[in-house]
């Protein structure tokens, strides 16, 4: 039951994998340049697409999103890549955010189980998802961002704009534990 953390060259990617280790969740940090076959050989039970400075540096992440039928959690850039892969719109945020933000949890099933109605999170981004594809639903929003989180309506594919792996998101570990439960289904 290994969750692969796809390194999209963001400053927190190693911290995501370390957070999973602290929770005793088997995981491995992998390069976003691995082929589909190399990822398949690792037999992941889930994928976490980490953050990064730009879509141009996201390697094969979009291919992973389209190919794999395992639960996927996109964090920051990973969240944006999921939206983009399915035809959503990603562009520069009106308010770049590098601060703790209160998000409003609209749907507290699965990923946000036990966390509603509000959650303090660390937001660190320049770009954001402006519109989601038709087959997705919004799970959380904030005063700064209309789409802090979303989920595919029929698949276990989730995106979050914020960073659960840092201490500025006090209940971030619960996001990882909830994602692990989703992977074990």
Contact 82, 147 (CB under 8 A): no
Neighbours of 130 (CB within 10 A): 17
Residues marked active site are found at 76, 163, 165
Contact 45, 70 (CB under 8 A): yes
Contact 57, 14 (CB under 8 A): no
Helix axes 172-184, 13-22, angle to 10 degrees: 70
Report CA Rg, the chain: 15
């Amino acid at each position: 039951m290994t969750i692969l953390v796809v390194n999209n060259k963001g400053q927190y990617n190693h911290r995501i994998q370390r957070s999973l280790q602290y929770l005793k969740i088997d995981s491995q940090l992998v390069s976003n340049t691995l082929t589909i076959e190399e990822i398949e050989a690792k037999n992941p039970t889930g994928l976490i697409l980490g953050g990064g400075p730009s879509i141009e540096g996201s390697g094969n992440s979009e291919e992973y999103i389209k190919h794999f039928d395992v639960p996927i959690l996109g964090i920051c850039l990973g969240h944006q890549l999921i939206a983009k892969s399915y035809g959503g719109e990603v562009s520069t945020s009106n308010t770049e955010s590098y601060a703790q933000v209160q998000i409003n949890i609209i749907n507290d099933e699965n990923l946000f189980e036990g966390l509603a109605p509000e959650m303090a999170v660390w937001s660190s981004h320049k770009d954001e998802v402006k519109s989601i594809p038709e087959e997705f639903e919004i799970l959380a929003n904030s005063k700064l961002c209309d789409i802090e989180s979303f989920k595919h309506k029929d698949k276990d594919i989730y995106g979050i704009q914020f960073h659960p792996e840092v201490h500025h998101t006090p209940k971030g570990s619960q996001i990882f534990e909830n994602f692990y439960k989703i992977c074990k289904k």
